[in-house]
Structure formats: C-alpha cells, structure tokens
Structure 1
Amino acid sequence: MSACSAFYGIWLFQHFSVTGLVLLAILVIVIIVQLKKKSVYVLVFLPVFFVYSYYDHTNSFSKLPQKQMKFSGKIKSIPKIDGNLLSFELVTNDETIIVYHKIKSAAEQEQLKKLSVNLSCVLKGKLEEPRKRSHFYGMDYREYLKNNDIYWILSTIEFGVGHCVKTKNVSFHDHIKAWRNKNINELESHFSKNTSGLMNALLFGYRDGIEAETLHYYQGLGLTHLLAVSGFNVGIVTYFLYLILVRMGFIKEIAYGLIILFLPIYIVLTGAESSIIRAGMMGIIVILVMMLRRKVHPVTLLSAVCIGMLSFNPSFAFDLGFQLSFLMTFVLITSIYVLKNASPLRLLIITSFICSIFSFPIILYHFFEFSLLSIPFNVLYIPFVSMLLFPISFISLLLSIFAPKVILIVNEIIEFFFYFSAVFMEKAQFLKMAVVLGRPAEWIFTLYFAGILFFLYRWEVTKRIHIVFIVPFLVVCFIHWGLPYANPKATVSFINVGQGDSILVELPYRKAVYMIDTGGTVSFDQEDWEKREEEYDVTKEIVLPFLKAKGIRHVDGLIITHGDTDHGGGGEFLLENIKVNNVFLPNKRKGNNLETLIETTAARKNINVVKLGKGMHWKSTHSLFFVLHPGSKESTSNNNSIVLWLKIYDHTFLLTGDIEAEAETDITNSFPKIKTDVLKVGHHGSVTSSTATFLDSVSPRYGIISAGENNLYGHPALDVLKRLRERDIAIYRTDEHGDVSIVVDKKRFKVKTAK
C-alpha cells in the first residue's frame, strides 16, 4: 500500500485529471478501511511523493547553452551503426546528450566501428531539442529523454575516430561497462546477427543487436519480456554462483557476502534497466535478511524496493519495464495460495495465465492489441528460453572468453537452436490471433483491474476457477469493444504523416470507417552500406498504430486520391495488414505504377475496387459523400486527385488531395454553390493551390494543412498562409500541431491537436 501511495503521488502530479481524482478518492477509502489507524503512515507517502515529483520536475533542466558548438566528453553507451547513421550517448559537463552522426562513406563506416564506450571524444555539432509528441497515440520522445535526464540531441558537423582517445583514470563502473561492450562485440564476431542479438539480450540486456523482424515476432506474440534480463536471470546466476563458491570451500556467510558484492556489478553488466535493478535490489535485501536470520514479508520487501527506486528517480514510475516488473512480482507473491502444491507444468501454466491477464490493461494501453496465444506461447517459450537458450548463451560467453577456438567446433549446433527459435516464431505469426481493442480510457482501464482483482480474489477464496468469476472482466472487454458503436459523434482525423496526406473518417456510431490516403515514405537510391536495417515506414509506424489505438479492426473504404507516394505509398501495406472492404481510386484512363500495384493487391485479396469520378456519391447514417473531381478530362497526377465533399450532420468537409489551380477552377465552375466548414488545403499548402477565387467560392472557416516539418518544398507557402489569414480562416498544420482531429456532433464540432 505504501508503494502504491508513493507511485500514485508521482503519477497524479504528471497526469492530473478528474478521473485521477476519483481514483485517488477510491484509493484513500480502501487504505483507510483496510488499515484504519495505520492508514496515516501509508497515506503520507502520497503527498510526500507528489511534492517530491514537483521538486524533481522543476529542477530537471539542462545547463548546456544551445549556442554551444564544440563539445568534449566520454562515450556512455555502446555506439550503434545503422546504415549511414551513427548514434550514441555522450557525457559532457556531467550531462548526457544523444549524438547523431551522418556517415559519408563505407570507409568511414568501417573506421567508426572501432568506437567503444569510455572513449573521450571532441566533436562539433548543433544542439537541437528532442521533438515533442506529435501524435495522439505516439510516444513523447522529449518526455522520455527528460525522464532519463537527457535534454539535447547533437547533430554533428565534425566527427571521426581520430577525434577520440582512451580515457584516463577510468572508474570501476566504467571498467564493467567496457567489459560488457567487449563481450557483446565478441559474441557478435562469433555468431550470426540473429543468434548474437538474442544472446546479448539474454545475457546483457542489450537488444539493439536483434534483427528487427525477430523483435517484431516476439512483440506480436507477447513474448518481449523473455528478451529482458529479469528476476529469473538474477535467481539463476545467484544460485549457480552460490554453488560455485560453496564448492570452492567458502563458508555460507562469506558466499552470501560475495554475492551481495557481485549483484550491483551484475546490474551494470545487464544494462541497469528498471526491471533488473528491482530484481538485484530484492536479491541483495533477501540475502541480508537471511544473514541476519530475520523474516520479512515479500510484499513488504517489494514495497521497500519500489519506494527506494522512486526516491532515487521518480521518473521510474513512467517506465513500462518498471510498471510490469513490480506489478507481476506483486501478483505472483500474493497468488502464493493458488500456486502452492502445483506441479511444475501446472505452475508454469498458472503463472503465465496470471501474469498475462494482469498485464492485459497495460499491454492494451501501450500496444492497443492483445494476442490470444500469448499464454500458450509463454508456456512453450519460457522453459525453452530459460532452460535452453539462456544456458547455451552463458556457455557460449564462457567459451568466447576462455576457449574461442572451441566455438568453431560447436558453432553450427548453437546456431541451429537459435535458428529454430526464429523460424518457429516466424511460422507462428500466422496464428498470433491478435485482438484489437484500442487504447482504453482511464475509467475503462480502472474497470479492467477491478474485474481482474475480482476474478483472482474469487479464485483464491474458492480454490477453483469458475466461469462466473471471469464474467465482470469479460463485460469490461465487451464495453471497451462496443463503445465506438454507441458513440453518436463522428471524428475526422488528419494524421501527421510528415510530408504527405492521411485522413481518417469515423462516422457516427462507427457505421463506417474511411481512410483517405495513407501517407508513404519516399525512398532514394542508396548503396548497400547506407541502407538501414529497417527503413522507416510512416504507414507502419504511424497510420496502422493510429487505427489500432482507436480500436479499428477493419476499414470500409480505402480512398487513394492519386498515385503519388506521399499519398498512396502505404496502400499495399494497409491492404496486407488490416481488413479493407473497398478500395477507391481516381477514374482515369491509365493509372500510374502505384495505383496499379494497389489495384492488383486488392484484386488478389478479393477486395472490391471502385473508380471515382465527378458526380458519384453515396450515403451512410447522418453522412453524405459527394465526388467533385476528377472529371473526364485527363490532366497531371495532382490535378486528377479525387476531391470529396463530405457532410456529417450539418457540418461539411472539403478534402482536396493535391489539386492545383486548374482543378480548383473546374470545381468552382461545376459546383459554384459548394461551401464548406473545413477545407483540407490542397497540395500541402503549395503556392499553386488555394487560389483567392477558390477560397472565396468555398468560404471555409477552418483550413487544415498536412505538411512535413522543415520540408524541402517550403510547404506551406507564405502566400497561401496570407490568403487564408486575410479571410479569417483558422489554420491548423500537422507540422506545427501534429495530429488534428475534428469531433463532430449534431450541434457543433471541436478541434483537438496532439501538440
């Protein structure tokens, strides 16, 4: 209860809301009822940590001047080279900054591979603030870095291996990190990328070396936690270290003392993430208690470690690993009556089930979906990883240190086990059975935990599982699933996809969902050495998660306004990764390569393809779609864009694709009475669009501009912005405001932005 009180004090400061106050009231009532007179000792942690979090927040700032151009410091993290990009953390003037260096040649890339932690470097560059969150459901990178006391990103102007030398007077802590870096590199030199990446994740908590595809496999099946160093690793290492020390003749007390000295070293070796700090600290305290022949309740021990870590760094409260680590440990400790006397297989199944169901709301909040196969796959993979891959990795590490030639003999056998693991994961993707529910609102989030606690409580009291116990939890799932279908409001969202367009239309009561353009990443010809391990795909990273976060499981219509990459480049990806009922393309004699590809993919998947032209229209509940363009006249790709006039209740939207002056004139001539409340400004605000005549004709109240931040095209043009302002049109830009959503009901609409 004390740890919960401290945690909530920090959380309430950062996420103050009405729902938060209601939950606070419930928490206070529960603590008072349960603890009565002792409740004051528990509740005092809440205001103390609320104030402490405020103090920590107000005193967290950078001491580096933004104008500084030259820096000297020590490399803190393992340098990572991904194609033509080098990145690492640098400590300068007792402050950590993220360094990004653009590699100019293959020869330079080879040279930069010599970099390692603890090297002292001098470099020139420009400090930039990390970007704020620009998506409703995306990670706030600036806040994430701030929680780790990082305030700047440095883009280099001058840097190379010659700018770095070995650091003098290296501390013991730095020696440990250097040894970790060396052995990570050793394993990478002896094994394939996939094998060494998994080994380094299991042994050192270093996951940057894992192939991106393999990591996606683990994430898709809810098995990512197996790639994190956790309490299990601490337990195994501690147990074997104890056996070795006793075999060497050390008495029990000295063995305990040496293990206590070793565990902080092990924490640093494995990356010092919150989950391993929790496990290591608990291990140290348990051994101390054993040495003093005392008894401490495990929950009290867990609470003390939690409060200690939050006292050291309140930002731990917002770390997903911290949340899951403490929650799962608490659940397993308090479920001891359910777990006792269980056979090993039954114990594995029960613990996997309990951990999966209790982490369900948190997983939904962060990833918007849940795999139904996570429990059976955990049952299969926990022993496989724990009893096979982890010991093999540890033995391989010992061989690389003491007998590297032996690795040549057993290499193929070791590679086989890890290859089998990857192939099995790949094949299992077809069975992952992910259920998309979307991000739960705060009150739904709370109801989930209430349903889960009721289920576990009844299970513990009755010593059996009955279907009735799980009914409240299933009811919450049904409410969460069905909420959009009971919502009379519609939402039109302009998703920030950088220099491109992507618009999501959700009609009232979720009667239909339309995706208008998908965004797309423009690729350039690169040499092999320049290519990133996984090229950034805006549709994969932004658009699809946006749909999942809203609980959208299928799209009624995918409308590609025209075949430019920044509008339809993600069309094929969406067709492969979400159910689509219809695909709409512009009606013209011959589509370009991208339009043809989308049409071919749709045909292969038996999806209906409709070519839209002027005058076509369709209705849905409380809404009307009317096609204003293209007509029969062939023109440029931009001027052949599909233009939609959308009416929801009594509010109208004009969605213009990339049309320019020529198409605008055609629209105003053909439909002189068309007016709109909201105009999606044509062609990202290009000077060739949004003419004065067109703006006067459609007379919008709001103008939405979809453009990339600091784009190379100068969008939106100053002349366009001037014309919009002269007509008192409220301007919203994705490059400045991030995602822009307009919520529509019968009487009014409300604009919301991510920034």
Structure 2
Amino acid sequence: MVTGKWFYAAIAALSGVMLIFEFHTLTLILILIGFIRIILEKEKKLLIFFSAFFIFSMVLAFINEKNNTSLFDQGSTSMYVTFHEVPQIDGNRLKAIVNSTNEKLLLHYTIQNEEEKLMLEMNIHAGTICPIAGELVIPERNRNQFTFNYGQYLYRQNIHWILETNRLSWNECYYSKPSFRAFLQNIRAVGVKYVESSFPEQLIPYANALIFGDRSSFAEDTYRTYQQIGVVHLLAISGLHIAFLVGLIYLIFLRLGIPKETIYWLLMVILPIYAVISGSNPPVIRAVLMTLLLLTSKKWRLPFTTLDALSISFITFLSIDPYLIYHAGFQLSFCVTFCLIVSSKSIFEKTHSYIRKMTDISIVSTLASFPILAFHFFEFSLIGIIANVLFVPFYTAVVLPSILSLFTIKFFSERLFAFLADFIAALVYYSEQFALMLSLNNFSTIVTGKPSMYSIIFMVIGAYLYVFLNEKRKTRIVAVLPLTLIMLIHMASIQYSPKGEVIFIDIGQGDSTLIKLPYNRGTYLIDTGGQLSFPEPEWQERKKPFQVGRQILIPVLKSKGIRKIDKLILTHSDTDHIGAAKELFGEIIINEIYISPNSWENDLMGEILNSAGKYDIPVFEEKAGTGWENKSGRFQFIFPFDDHYEGNNSSLVLFAIFGGLSWIFMGDVEKEGEEEIIRAYEKLNANVLKVGHHGSKTSSTFDFIHFVQPDFAIISAGYKNRYGHPHKQVLDILEENKVYIYRTDEQGAIHYLFTKRGGTFHTVMK
C-alpha cells in the first residue's frame, strides 16, 4: 500500500460493513462515492486494495451477523457461568457479563443483605465460576421512540439474554485460572477500590476516571454539567492522556539511563496492558494502537503517516468487532481525530499563537463531533468551543499530572499526599463551579432533535467543507457558513414543521402526554410521570438510580427538538404524575405551570413549585372554564369545579380540539368526579379519551364512557404493574361501547401525527 493511502482502505472497510448492517439507498450512494473517488485517483493498485478491503469487511460483517444467534431458549435454566468481567455492584444490585458454553449473558441479581454484598465484593472477580439457577429473559424492546434501545445495545455485544436469578451463593463459586485479560481487570477493580478508600471525596471520581477509565463515581449533576459545556471528553482516557503517559515514561526512563531501544519494547508491553487496566474503551484502544503504530514506524522507518496509523487502527477495530460502528465513543474518537489530522497543517502554523491554535482545535473538534452528538443525544454544546480552550490546558497541565502524581505519592508519603490532595481538590472544586456557571447559560446547549439520515449526510458534508475551506485559507466565518446554514435549516424544519404530534409517552406506571402543535404554535406537557421512592438502608442506595425524567422524558422531548415547553400541566399531586417535574428544570425551558387549585398543599407539589420558583417559572391555579386557543386548536379545562383539593378527584381535566379530533385528558379522576362532569355538561363527546387513573376500576364507568362516546381510548399503565391496571372491568366497558383501545403497557408509546386535515395513530412496539 502506498504511503498515505491507508485511508482508502478504511473507507472500503466501513463501506463493506455498512452494506451488510445498513442496506439502504444512502449506504449504496456512499459506497458509490467511495469507488468513484478511488477511480479518480487513476491507480490500479489502489482500486485493487480498495476492492479487497471492501470484500473482506463485507464477508466479516456477514459472518458476524450470521453467528450472532443464541444457543439457549427462554425460561428456567441451571448452569455454570464464568464472570467475563468484574461485576458491577451498585447498592443492592449486581450486574455482570458472564459466559456459559461460549455464549455471553447479562446477569442480574438483587443482593439480599449488607453482609452478602460485602462477601460478593470480596469473592466474585473476573474469571470466577459460579453455579446459577434462574430465568433467561429476552431484553426488553424499546418502548419510546429514539430513547436508549437497551435490547439493541446488548445484541450488538452478542448478548441475547438477561439471566435473572434470586440466589447467588458466593461460597459455591470457585476461582479458575484466569486469562491474562481477567487478571488485569481484577487489578483495575483493586485500583478503583484503593482510590475510593484513600483519596479525598472530591478527587475520587477524577482519579478513577483519569487513571482507570471508571466514571461511575461522578455525581449525576456534575457529570451533566461537563456534558452541557462540551468538555466531558476530558474525563475519559483518550489520545491526550496516552500522549502524556508516553512522554512521561520516556522522560523517566531516559533519566534512569535506559536506552531508547529498550523503552520502545517496554512501551509495546506497557501500553496494551494499560489499555485493559483503563477500561478497554474504544478511544483509549484507538490511541494506544496509533501510538504503537507510529512508534513502530519511526523505529523501523516504515512509510506510515499519522493518517495511515488512524486508518489501520480503524480497520483493526472493525476486523475484531464490526458492531463498533454503532458505538458513539468509537465514532467520536475516529471522526474528531481524523478531522484534527487533516486540519493539522493549518492549525499548527508557526505564525499562529497558542490561543489561536487551541481555538482552532476546539472549533474543528466541535464541528466534527456535531453530527454524531446530534444523532445520538439530540444536542450539542455551543459553548464547548470556548470551554475547551479553557479546560483542555487546565486538565493537560494541572489536573491529569496532579492526579497521576498523587496516586504515586500515596505509596511513599502520606503527609505529602494529604497536603497536595487538599490543594488539588480545591482547584477541582472551583473548576466545577466555573463549569456550572457556564452551563447555566440557556444557550450553552443547542437542542437539535433527532436528525434524519439525509440531515446527517448534509451535516457531515458541512463539517468537511469547514475543514476544506479552512485549508484553503478562507476566513472562519466563510468556512463555518455551510454547516451553520445546514444546522439552521435542519432545526427550522423540526421546530416549524407543518405536522403536529401527540405522544402518550410510555413513562412506566404513570402519566405523561406531549402535545406539539404545527408551526411551533404551542408545546404542552400534561404530567411528567415519576417513581415512588421509599426509605432504604444506606447499603441499598444506588449511585445513579433510575430517573424517569432524565432517562425517558428528557430524551423524548429533545429527540423532537423541544427545548421549551409553553405550558406544563400538573394535573394533581400524585408522584406517578408529577414526580419527574423537577428533573426538567434547568434542562428544558418552561414558560408556565398550571396546577389544580390548592394542590400545592401537598408536600411533593410544594417542593416542585419551590424549585420552579428558583427558575422564575410562573404558576397558575386553574379550574373549569379557563383555557386558551390559537390557529391550531382550542383548549379548555372542564374540571375541577371548586377550589377544594381532594386528590384524584381534583385532577385538572383538559378538553381540546386540534388535529381533526376532539380530546379529553382525564388525569386520575375517579367515579365521583366523572359523575360531577356528567351532571355539569349536557353534551361532552370526544373522539379520543385519555382514560382516567390508568384504567383502574375506580374510573371509567359505563355511564361516563356512554356519555363521552369516544372512538379511541388511551390507557397509560406500566408493563406488568403491581396494581393490575388496566382492570378487566374497564376494558370490557370500552369494548362494549366499541371503543378502540391503545395501551402503553402493551404497545409502548402511542403517537398521533397530524396536520390541520387530520392524522393517524401509530405505536412504538406494534
């Protein structure tokens, strides 16, 4: 292969994998562009190499896809499993990837008591073999559009089953001779525990992240702050860290008088070992592979450029695991590095100042990552360009060297460690506060919505044009203009779409309904869902418990390009309707909150309104007779009738006409409230009834259903919920009245997509 041409082999490898995994028109267009580009090079050998890598990767991807099947059947099972990794023990939950008969399974176990937790932490390691009796369960399908697809995520790791067990006897396990990889994983686990037991609390997450690649210790709010300002990559081990580590090793070993020849061979051993100890994430493996290739090229005078090293690393990754093309970290690592390499000539001109170089690096990195962040997370950090200029030098020159030094000093001088650790902890604390200040700016993060494949292609073209125009010495404004226009057109097409949408979000056992009107005429959220929480011992508390708002509601909103809610309607004070409201504050701009009269007397509602006050969100108490209207629809509250708050039967009930249908959203109104509504209104027909109280038998009486005469009924209930919702009696009444039923517990989120002429329903699961 000719020097500098390995990039074409990487494109061929990607094309071959995409053809098998993503066979559609756009993939074929991309492959055709690749072949045309090779033909224009007018090099026969290059075309042969391109074709060879294309066919090789296509065959490899086909074999992987064909072999990605299971040997097991669903149901009860009893087997011996080998722990593929050190188990993750968080509170009372143990989770680990295990192997049985050469197939990977995901083990779930709920720890029974604190003593058992301690024994499991001491006795279960990578390489441990245990007898397990349990149930093989299919990973649950995605229940909401564009949220994290856990089943798909596991499939791409060749995991087809979750092994659930209610018994894990550590004293029946035994430790076989582990593989070298398992041995290193156990060393990593020991290192993480050592940091947790010996470092100041402020520094624990940073030490574990920057030494061992473990970011689980970060508080949710702190980690989110770094995401919002676009510097979260500094908390992951990547090329920057590997370069620093290699430089440090060279400096120390040369001072010790070790020849460069010996240092080279030591690095060939040390770096792969460190890649495993630091978590084996794609960015660190990519950095290690590139470093080893470049060191080898220099030593043996091989004709490899930096771009060649990146391309060979890419091909190596896909040869080992083609499914990595779906990994966000893999995509970001290679795309950002590629753009920095091809822009390096213009970035590192001698005439440029240090600030200019840092700014150029930050701009290129931000633009290169923009399409990927938009696709996976529906947002990107605009302020990241400035934040990276400030934080990258601080982490490179201060935080990273300090953390590595502290870890070493701890073994030699406790007093010096304590003195330096307190100083570094203070610096880190103030950097966190500065990051928080930057993140509070409403424009720090741009919500893009979920881009279509066509939008992604144009975004990639825009990023490429920036690099190209920058290379041609065009001004930054001219260079960034194409991508800016593409981004604005994409966001405008989402924000001002002529189509509106109603989403009955599958929030679990609870309620949350999104109404997004056409042309951005209104965005309304009725309830937020929420989880009931109960007091539990400290040992059972999880570092990052499941949060309905952060893990379901906010991703759904941002996938639709929603950064602002015009009206948040909190029907009543039950946790399963409003518990996640506080999680929206600071993430989503809320113009107004509507509540039922005097529902603020409830403690939970009071807490939510206090939090809303910190964000200057006005709150209005509403009841029957109030409402609003615009060009796309009319909305009116029809219940409650008085100011006395009595729980479910004081729920705000909204009647609306839009999208060619009439709607009633019932909250948790029960039989008594339904009777009041029947007495108050002579006629109240609606095409769509959002069934009250999740289909409980205390609501939706025959008289009420006959009175409303809906064509469609929507029931929001949790999958296999413990309350038995929806009740058979309610389903029978609806069927008797010939009402078509949609259920979130069986069908996932329910969507109604509409224009002014009407619309259609569809569901996520079936």
Partner of 2:104: 96
What is the deviation of 1:379?
1.7
Q: Which moved more, 1:714-723 or 1:417-426?
A: 417-426
Partner of 2:497: 487
- In the alignment, the residues of structure 2 paired with residue 401 and residue 651 of structure 1 have an alpha-carbon distance, to the nearest angstrom, of 71
- Does the 8 Å contact 1:561/1:641 carry over to 2? yes
Partner of 1:73: 81
Partner of 1:461: 472
Q: Mind listing any 5+ residue stretches in structure 1 that lack a counterpart? A: none
- Does the 8 Å contact 2:570/2:596 carry over to 1? yes
What is the deviation of 1:597?
4.3
- Does the 8 Å contact 2:440/2:586 carry over to 1? no
- In the alignment, the residues of structure 1 paired with residue 707 and residue 21 of structure 2 have an alpha-carbon distance, to the nearest angstrom, of 46
- Does the 8 Å contact 2:339/2:467 carry over to 1? no
Partner of 1:140: 149
What CA deviation, in whole Å up to 9, does each residue of 1:187-220 have, x standing for no partner? Answer: 2221134412211211121222333333222212
- In the alignment, the residues of structure 2 paired with residue 102 and residue 363 of structure 1 have an alpha-carbon distance, to the nearest angstrom, of 34
**Pair 1:654 & 2:664 matched:** yes
Q: Which moved more, 1:156-165 or 1:705-714?
A: 156-165
1:26-37 aligned at under 5 Å gives the runs: 26-33=33-40
Partner of 2:508: 498
What CA deviation, in whole Å up to 9, does each residue of 1:19-57 have, x standing for no partner? Answer: 555555555555544567545643565565455434322
Q: Which amino acid aligns with 1:436?
A: V
Q: Segments of 4+ in structure 1 off by > 6 A?
A: none
Q: Which moved more, 1:83-92 or 1:558-567?
A: 83-92
Partner of 1:125: 134
- Please, which of 305, 314, 320 is the counterpart of residue 312 of structure 1? 320
- Please, which of 160, 164, 188 is the counterpart of residue 180 of structure 1? 188
* TM-score, length-scaled by structure 1: 0.92
What is the deviation of 1:318?
0.6
Partner of 1:84: 92
**Pair 1:2 & 2:9 matched:** yes
- In the alignment, the residues of structure 1 paired with residue 52 and residue 156 of structure 2 have an alpha-carbon distance, to the nearest angstrom, of 24
- In the alignment, the residues of structure 2 paired with residue 329 and residue 205 of structure 1 have an alpha-carbon distance, to the nearest angstrom, of 19
Partner of 1:153: 162
Provide the aligned C-alpha RMSD in A: 2.9
1:148-297 aligned at under 5 Å gives the runs: 148-165=157-174, 167-297=175-305
What is the deviation of 1:722?
3.4
- In the alignment, the residues of structure 1 paired with residue 304 and residue 133 of structure 2 have an alpha-carbon distance, to the nearest angstrom, of 54
What CA deviation, in whole Å up to 9, does each residue of 1:84-136 have, x standing for no partner? Answer: 22333333333333333323333333444324523333344333222222221
Partner of 1:683: 693
What CA deviation, in whole Å up to 9, does each residue of 1:658-698 have, x standing for no partner? Answer: 12233333334444543333221221111222333333333
- In the alignment, the residues of structure 1 paired with residue 483 and residue 115 of structure 2 have an alpha-carbon distance, to the nearest angstrom, of 58
What is the deviation of 1:418?
3.6
Aligned partner of residue 675 in structure 1, secondary structure = coil
Q: In structure 2, do the counterparts of structure 1 residues 396 and 93 end up closer, same or farther at CA, with 3 Å as the change threshold?
A: farther
- Does the 8 Å contact 2:528/2:579 carry over to 1? yes
Q: Which moved more, 1:504-513 or 1:146-155?
A: 146-155
- Please, which of 674, 677, 683 is the counterpart of residue 664 of structure 1? 674
Q: Which amino acid aligns with 2:99?
A: V
- Does the 8 Å contact 1:96/1:150 carry over to 2? yes
Aligned partner of residue 734 in structure 2, secondary structure = helix
Partner of 2:457: 446
What is the deviation of 1:709?
1.4
Q: Which moved more, 1:647-656 or 1:67-76?
A: 67-76
- Does the 8 Å contact 1:183/1:397 carry over to 2? no
- Does the 8 Å contact 2:495/2:561 carry over to 1? no
- In the alignment, the residues of structure 2 paired with residue 73 and residue 360 of structure 1 have an alpha-carbon distance, to the nearest angstrom, of 41
Partner of 2:555: 545
- In the alignment, the residues of structure 2 paired with residue 31 and residue 674 of structure 1 have an alpha-carbon distance, to the nearest angstrom, of 68
- Does the 8 Å contact 2:632/2:756 carry over to 1? no
Q: Which amino acid aligns with 2:487?
A: C
What is the deviation of 1:338?
0.5
1:307-456 aligned at under 5 Å gives the runs: 307-340=315-348, 341=350, 342-401=352-411, 407-408=417-418, 410-431=420-441, 433-456=444-467
Q: Which moved more, 1:691-700 or 1:244-253?
A: 244-253
Q: Which moved more, 1:713-722 or 1:556-565?
A: 713-722
Q: In structure 2, do the counterparts of structure 1 residues 670 and 42 end up closer, same or farther at CA, with 3 Å as the change threshold?
A: farther
- Does the 8 Å contact 2:86/2:185 carry over to 1? no
Partner of 2:718: 708
Q: Which amino acid aligns with 1:443?
A: Y
Partner of 1:556: 566
Q: Which moved more, 1:18-27 or 1:61-70?
A: 18-27
- In the alignment, the residues of structure 2 paired with residue 59 and residue 468 of structure 1 have an alpha-carbon distance, to the nearest angstrom, of 49
Q: In structure 2, do the counterparts of structure 1 residues 695 and 20 end up closer, same or farther at CA, with 3 Å as the change threshold?
A: farther
Q: Which moved more, 1:2-11 or 1:483-492?
A: 2-11
Q: Which moved more, 1:444-453 or 1:321-330?
A: 444-453
What is the deviation of 1:301?
2.8
Aligned partner of residue 114 in structure 1, secondary structure = helix
Aligned partner of residue 484 in structure 2, secondary structure = helix
What is the deviation of 1:655?
1.4
Partner of 2:4: none
Q: Which amino acid aligns with 1:134?
A: R
Partner of 2:731: 721
- Does the 8 Å contact 2:572/2:599 carry over to 1? no
Q: Which moved more, 1:653-662 or 1:309-318?
A: 653-662
Q: In structure 2, do the counterparts of structure 1 residues 125 and 636 end up closer, same or farther at CA, with 3 Å as the change threshold?
A: same
What is the deviation of 1:574?
3.1
What is the deviation of 1:522?
1.3
Q: Which amino acid aligns with 2:184?
A: I
Q: In structure 2, do the counterparts of structure 1 residues 519 and 249 end up closer, same or farther at CA, with 3 Å as the change threshold?
A: same
Q: In structure 2, do the counterparts of structure 1 residues 601 and 32 end up closer, same or farther at CA, with 3 Å as the change threshold?
A: same
Number of residue equivalences: 753
Q: In structure 2, do the counterparts of structure 1 residues 680 and 54 end up closer, same or farther at CA, with 3 Å as the change threshold?
A: farther
Q: In structure 2, do the counterparts of structure 1 residues 730 and 5 end up closer, same or farther at CA, with 3 Å as the change threshold?
A: farther
Partner of 2:545: 535
- In the alignment, the residues of structure 1 paired with residue 202 and residue 738 of structure 2 have an alpha-carbon distance, to the nearest angstrom, of 57
- In the alignment, the residues of structure 1 paired with residue 665 and residue 398 of structure 2 have an alpha-carbon distance, to the nearest angstrom, of 56
- Does the 8 Å contact 1:672/1:697 carry over to 2? no
Q: Which amino acid aligns with 2:276?
A: V
What CA deviation, in whole Å up to 9, does each residue of 1:689-747 have, x standing for no partner? Answer: 23333333333332221111111101112232333344553332222222221101233
* TM-score, length-scaled by structure 2: 0.91
Q: Which moved more, 1:540-549 or 1:43-52?
A: 43-52
**Pair 1:60 & 2:33 matched:** no
- Does the 8 Å contact 2:518/2:632 carry over to 1? yes
Aligned partner of residue 469 in structure 1, secondary structure = helix
- Does the 8 Å contact 2:660/2:759 carry over to 1? no
Q: In structure 2, do the counterparts of structure 1 residues 444 and 520 end up closer, same or farther at CA, with 3 Å as the change threshold?
A: same
